[in-house]
Amino acid sequence: MPPWNDRFLRACRREPVDRTPVWFMRQAGRYQPEYRALRERYSLLDICRQPDLCAQVTLLPVEQLGVDAAILFSDIMVPLGPMGARYELKENVGPVVERPVRTPEDVARLEPLEPEVDLPYVLETIRILRRELRVPLIGFAGGPFTLASYLIEGRPTRDFLHTKGFMYHQPGAWHELLRRLTDSVILYLKAQVEAGAQAVQVFDSWVGSLSPGDYREFVLPHMQRLFAETSGLGVPRIQFGVTTLGLLPLMREAGGEVIGVDWRVGLAEAWQRIGDGVAVQGNLDPAVLLAPAPVVRRRVEAVLAEAHGRPGHIFNLGHGVLPATPPGMLRQVVEWVHELGGQGNGG
Ligand code: CP3
């Protein structure tokens, strides 16, 4: 058995590491022939509800790619079911909610999550994984804004008009919705860590659709409470969203140990905006992985050059792996990052 690999956790704590750690958002998914074959027989939620199978799906990319962390296979929508939202994960579309949240009464109907009762299979998957893994396991939850956006819109959107309309027209109900979501996210993350998750990522993927002023008013207080109430867990907490350039200082104010950024900002500039004292995760454009190998290598070098050997860089994509990605290219990127990226030694 290979020795325990802790360079991901060391980088989260901004300690020097022998090699820059690397993992990929959506490292388990449709780019893998094995995953596509499984999905012929099981829905995504079927996989999540069977701990042995779910653990296998989580482990597969770790074994195939040589990444430095595993991420629990699940979906940000999973805790919303037991809270009372009926939804479907539609192929090539994403989450579709049967009765979108549009009124204060809809908000009042949302139940608090009881992770041990509602989602025992998630916690069992985590326990299985901890016995199998030689790299750290990342648990996760959706950010309250991003979860609210799916509940309110009822389906994926680009402009978030229903979400913002709800926010501006019914600020009281909005804050109550975010309070309820934040309560459940806190309990869910705690349960995952108690079951064995060694880091957690908050996927606030779509929060970058807000202006800094609206983030401060409508989201920041909830994110601050989320991070305050999970600080005692003793594990690194990663915040991630796309198009967050203008929000980075506020995300820093929200809390957590690591901030994940997408490719729309250079890593050096992102780091400067975030400031010292937290680690940074990112930020290769996932579309680059469809390019010829020499182009990919140059882009990997460019990301590492922007990180400039600073402690506290975790290499990742700026968003999830695309289904058209050649699996061999992901493996190659892991090798390049490990070959080229060393920290605390000047690059
Ligand atoms: O490997 C991992 O990263 C862990 C698994 C994971 C999934 N979803 C599995 C999944 C994680 C971390 C998520 C989080 C998630 N889910 C987010 C946040 C990250 C992000 O992408 O911004 C969001 C917004 C969702 C909601 C969601 N679920 C979307 C937008 C989709 C894609 C729709 C599509 O078909 O392209 C899903 C479905 C989903 N969740 C897939 C996977 C692997 C797609 C493949 C499938 O249906 O089997």
- 217-248: pLDDT as tens digits: 999 999 999 999 999 999 999 999 999 999 99
The catalytic position among 7, 10, 14, 26 is: 26
- 124-178: pLDDT as tens digits: 999 999 999 999 999 999 999 999 999 999 999 999 999 999 999 999 999 999 9
Strand segments (E) across 244-295? 258-260, 279-284
- 8-18: pLDDT as tens digits: 999 999 999 99
343 pLDDT more than 80: no
Smallest Cα–Cα separation from 111: which of 142, 132, 86? 86
The catalytic position among 19, 30, 102, 264 is: 30
Specify whether the backbone of 169 is left (phi greater than 0), alpha (psi in -120 to 50) or beta: alpha
269 pLDDT more than 70: yes
Report the residue among 26, 45, 125, 163 best suited for mutation to probe ligand 1: largest number of ligand atoms under 8 A from its CB: 26
% of the chain with per-residue pLDDT over 70: 98
Whether domain 7-340 has CATH 3.20.20.210: yes
Report yes or no on whether pTM surpasses 0.85: yes
Decide whether any atom of ligand 1 lies within 6 Å of the 39 Cβ. Answer: yes
What residue's CA is closest to ligand 1, atom 48? 44
Give the chain's radius of gyration (CA, Å). 19
- 301-324: pLDDT as tens digits: 999 999 999 999 999 999 999 999
39 is catalytic: yes
Residue 324: per-residue pLDDT: 98
Specify whether the backbone of 243 is left (phi greater than 0), alpha (psi in -120 to 50) or beta: left
CA 333/CA 316 separation, integer angstroms: 10
